[in-house]
Amino acid sequence: MHISYNISPLPSFNITMIATMTIMKPNFGDFNYGNGSLSGARIEARKSKDINFVVNMWCSKISLVSGNNLINEINSGMLKFRSYAKLSGTVHLMKIVNKRKTIEMDCILNLNFTSHSIHHSRC
């Protein structure tokens, strides 16, 4: 994880994280996905697969309006953010049934600027 941030003259931050997401396929049928920002692949029936990806977040020249929660969070050294991921694909069952499925993940994370780590993640 790489984090750079400024508090003055104008608050800003630039964060790059390498994250891993595990997709578990506990039932029968292969899951093929692709056509997104992740490269396409296949997860076999009753298997799991780790997917590595890069997350870039930045915000520059944040308004200095009093009561701005984002400025208060940057000044405290912790930034709370929400991430959302959606992965669509097709489940193939015994080469007979093809059904379109979508996996969705919604997370709330607290990023600590000083330790360069994630605290209290909830997905």
DSSP state of 46: T
pLDDT for 89-103, tens place per residue?
888 887 788 999 888
Q: Is the pTM of this model over 0.95?
A: no
Give residue limits of the domains in the chain. Answer: 2-122
Query: What mean pLDDT is reported for the chain?
Result: 82
pLDDT for 44-55, tens place per residue?
888 998 988 888
Q: Beta-strand (E) ranges in the chain?
A: 2-6, 12-25, 30-33, 41-43, 47-59, 78-93, 97-112, 117-122
Q: Is the pLDDT of residue 120 over 70?
A: yes
